[in-house]
A and B are shown apart, each in its own frame.
Chain A
Amino acid sequence: MKILVVCGNGLGSSFMMALTVKKALAELGKEAEVTHTDLTTATAEKADVYIGAGDIVDQLDNGMRKIVRIVNMMSIAEIKSKLEPLF
C-alpha cells in the first residue's frame, strides 16, 4: 500500500505528519510506503491512500481517490484508528 501525506506546500506539516503516520503503522504492525508532498504535486501522483488535514485533502477528492481526513495531525491514536480499517 502506498500512503501519500499531503499538505499545502509539502515542506513542514506533511513531513511531521508522515513521521506520525509511520509511528502509527509501526504500532499497528502494518507496512506501507509513506511519502509526503504538496497539494499540487499530489494531484498528479498515484497513491492508494491520500491523508491530510480536511481542508487540504478535500481538494483531492474526485470520487475515485481514497481520502483520509485527519483533525489532529500529531495524534498517533487518531491516525491509527483511521488507517486500521484500510488494511
Chain B
Amino acid sequence: MLSELLNKDTIQIANEVNNWQDAIRLASLPLLQQHKIEKRYIEAMIHSIEVHGPYAVLTPKVAIPHARPTEGVKELSMSLLSLQNPVQFGPDKPVYLIIVLAAIDDASHLRALVDLTQVLQEPTQIDSIIACQLPEDIVEKIKQYATKERL
C-alpha cells in the first residue's frame, strides 16, 4: 500500500530545481541509492515525457513520471519530491509534487495507485502536502488521505 512505499526514506523536500528533467533525476535519487531502480530507468522516464508530452502531469501541480518495468526497475517502489517553488513540465504546467512510480509488472502496484488516486482527487489535499516542511509530515498526510474512504 501507498504509505509503505512513500516513507521518510523515499520522500524529499527541496527548494527548487532547474528544469523538469532535473526534477525527475532528484526525485529518483532515493530509489537509485536504495538499488530499487537502475540509472537507465531515470532516462527512460524523461524520454517517455519527451515522446508523449507532459501527460505525466496527471492533475494540476502533480506529475507522476514512470516508464516500463523492463526499462530498469529492480523492485516495486515509489518516491516523492516536494518543491517549494514549482518547475514547468510544459507550457502552463507548473509542478510542485513529483511522484516517481517504478512498477515491476502490470498489477502489483495497483493497490498503491488506488490509494494515490484518493490522495490526488482532492486539490486541497494536494495543497496541504505541498505546504509540509518535513518529510515526516508528508508521510502522515498521505497515510491520513489514502485510508479515509476505506474506514
Within 8 A of A (CB), among B91-141: 101, 103, 106, 109-110, 113-114, 116-117, 120-121
Whether A72 touches B59, Cβ cut-off 8 Å, given contacts A15-B113, A55-B54, is: yes
> Residue-by-residue, is B66-88 near A (CB-CB < 8 Å gives 1, otherwise 0)?
11110000000000000000000
In the complex the two chains form, what is the Cα distance from A11 to B54 in whole Å? Answer: 16
Q: Is the CB of A75 within 8 A of B59?
A: yes
> Residue-by-residue, is A53-65 near B (CB-CB < 8 Å gives 1, otherwise 0)?
1011000000000
The interface-forming segment of A16-24, A27-35, A43-51 is A16-24
A39 within 8 A of B: yes
Chain B residues bordering chain A, tally (CB within 8 A): 27
- Residues of A within 8 Å of B37, CB to CB, are none
Chain A residues bordering chain B, tally (CB within 8 A): 23
Whether A56 touches B60, Cβ cut-off 8 Å, given contacts A9-B68, A19-B117, is: no
**Per a CB cutoff under 8 Å, which of A12, A53, A73, A75 touches B66?**
A12
B52 within 8 A of A: yes
Nearest residue in B to A6 (C-beta to C-beta)?
B55
A3 within 8 A of B: no
- Nearest-CB distance from A31 to chain B (Å)? 20
- Residues of A within 8 Å of B103, CB to CB, are 11-12
B51 within 8 A of A: yes
- Residues of A within 8 Å of B21, CB to CB, are none
Q: Is the CB of A39 within 8 A of B56?
A: no
- Residues of B within 8 Å of A25, CB to CB, are none
**Per a CB cutoff under 8 Å, which of B55, B101, B114 touches A8?**
B55
- Nearest-CB distance from A63 to chain B (Å)? 21
Q: Which residues of B contact A (CB under 8 A)?
A: 48, 51-56, 58-60, 62, 64, 66-69, 101, 103, 106, 109-110, 113-114, 116-117, 120-121
